[in-house]
Structure 1
């Protein structure tokens, strides 16, 4: 089969896949009213286009298998609008002959030895992040430090996204406004070496669309380098935690890093141990007394 024929087959498969997923999403699932004249099963093309911030004509051509270029930013937006799971998202990018730039596609820098080290650090919370704040791996205590991280889709496991859009994550940070401003400044500093990379541009564009707080902080053009500091978290299960944040770089180019949180005092140490025991036993129950 020639390359041209293969591309034509792929475009038709992509068109059929998009139609099938569009038809299974109800208007109510995306916050739209059904109305009385709706004949199309699921969403209309113009609704998908609007929700994905792409042109109606362009999206129509995509479902008609026209020979048009599809950027990774558009594919990412379509995947979110159509509520694709991890396997469906991977299929979408494969049909479009594109590489998914999100951390759900790969976990660069996380070896088996690093994962073993993360597990050995329990009950001290630890994770591996890249300079874009994608969470690539984490241990059991970190999984419940700020929210139920296992319940977050892999492509959304990003500290910048979580601190601006996840209610449970936001409630867990004692000094939220300071944290958001500092993180935006660190992201801008890191982005200097990645200005043309789609994944970075996608992250910033999504944050600007979903968070007024990020837009305000981003426009400050503040720059802050990575640094060790003491942080406080208000965990829903064990209460206030005061922890030393340390970055341990895993590669010479300052890409992936292991983020660790060591307890500052004995009370925080005991509460981390309790959180790990609760997580290991799958017995996590919020307690009002724990929030003191």
Structure 2
């Protein structure tokens, strides 16, 4: 395991340990506790290992962590399966070939996006870069995504920096902005665990940390998430608030993969409203 991965493991374990209130695991909360959350001694005891060994792991100084020890620590820290998988990927990275992010689409994919109108649809790669979208999505957001500079064609970058995009996501407060950015930080951490040597992704993460204190905090807090389908109220630039069910579809081609977000209205009336505002050239004949 590389030294940088050892540090990532240690940082993650420390963040999880400090996030657990002692009373939630049957311990008495000390009035003047010197540490936030659980102590290293607590985790070591629950895991059945020595405090010295656990401390070395958390300081990023312990190579050769066995699967049994890792499972014990995961149980002690109440890790989710996704968080446990994240640690496994750091400790024993899979032999994954170098994967270049995809920025192009085939004619068949372009035709698919056209046929999805009037349902808004967005195509992204693993790094949250927006490859393209259909006419219905551009109409919903109020931006022509394909005309944006390449550096700005990223879901997270737009969430951090673009006021029109924030309005589309119904972000009208710092709290809502934090929720969105934290979710995407969790997605990127999960991706990085699967491709720890991806220099392009590492550079993007470093850039986001500089751009946003919210992202920097979410990254420091070691949030790990995966994209999920969800029902959400979006702010359509022409139609106002509209409840859409975001469904996710993945396409794999060799070493590259793209994710298609399709936004479904909840009733026939809203579907017709989406159709009514779609220009004729955006419809599939």
TM above 0.5: yes
Question: Relative contact order (alpha carbons < 8 A, sep ≥ 6): 1 or 2 greater?
Answer: 2
Q: How far has the Cα of 1:145 moved from its partner? A: 2.3
**Other-structure match for 1:142:** 137
Secondary structure, aligned partner of 1:245? strand
Write out per-residue CA displacement over residues 53-72 of structure 1, whole angstroms, 9 at most, x where no aligned residue: xxxxxxxxxxxxxxxxxxxx
5 Å matches for 1:22-171? 106-107=103-104, 110-148=105-143, 149-171=145-167
* Gap regions ≥5 residues in structure 1: 1-100, 282-292
Q: How far has the Cα of 1:126 moved from its partner? A: 0.8
Q: How far has the Cα of 1:102 moved from its partner? A: 7.1
**Other-structure match for 1:190:** 191
- Distance in 2 between the 1:210 and 1:278 partners? 39
Judged with a 3 Å threshold, the aligned counterparts in structure 2 of structure 1 residues 220 and 144 are, in CA distance, closer, same or farther, namely farther
Judged with a 3 Å threshold, the aligned counterparts in structure 2 of structure 1 residues 122 and 188 are, in CA distance, closer, same or farther, namely same
Residues 209, 215 of structure 2: 8 Å contact kept: yes
Q: How far has the Cα of 1:279 moved from its partner? A: 8.8
**Other-structure match for 1:269:** 271
Q: How far has the Cα of 1:200 moved from its partner? A: 0.6
* Gap regions ≥5 residues in structure 2: 1-99
Secondary structure, aligned partner of 1:192? helix
Judged with a 3 Å threshold, the aligned counterparts in structure 2 of structure 1 residues 278 and 111 are, in CA distance, closer, same or farther, namely closer
Q: How far has the Cα of 1:254 moved from its partner? A: 7.9
Judged with a 3 Å threshold, the aligned counterparts in structure 2 of structure 1 residues 258 and 102 are, in CA distance, closer, same or farther, namely closer
- Distance in 2 between the 1:161 and 1:280 partners? 27
- Distance in 1 between the 2:110 and 2:201 partners? 25
**Other-structure match for 1:57:** none
Secondary structure, aligned partner of 1:247? strand
Q: How far has the Cα of 1:219 moved from its partner? A: 1.8
Where does structure 1 differ by over 3 angstroms across 4 or more consecutive aligned residues?
Answer: 277-281
**Other-structure match for 2:257:** 255
Pairs aligned (count): 177
Residues 101, 126 of structure 2: 8 Å contact kept: no
Judged with a 3 Å threshold, the aligned counterparts in structure 2 of structure 1 residues 186 and 102 are, in CA distance, closer, same or farther, namely closer
**Other-structure match for 1:92:** none
Write out per-residue CA displacement over residues 102-125 of structure 1, whole angstroms, 9 at most, x where no aligned residue: 76xx42xx2211110000000101
Residues 140, 238 of structure 2: 8 Å contact kept: no
- Distance in 2 between the 1:258 and 1:231 partners? 17
Pair 1:173 & 2:173 matched: no
Secondary structure, aligned partner of 2:257? coil
- Distance in 2 between the 1:157 and 1:246 partners? 21
Residues 192, 198 of structure 2: 8 Å contact kept: no
> TM-score if structure 2 supplies the norm length?
0.56
> TM-score if structure 1 supplies the norm length?
0.55
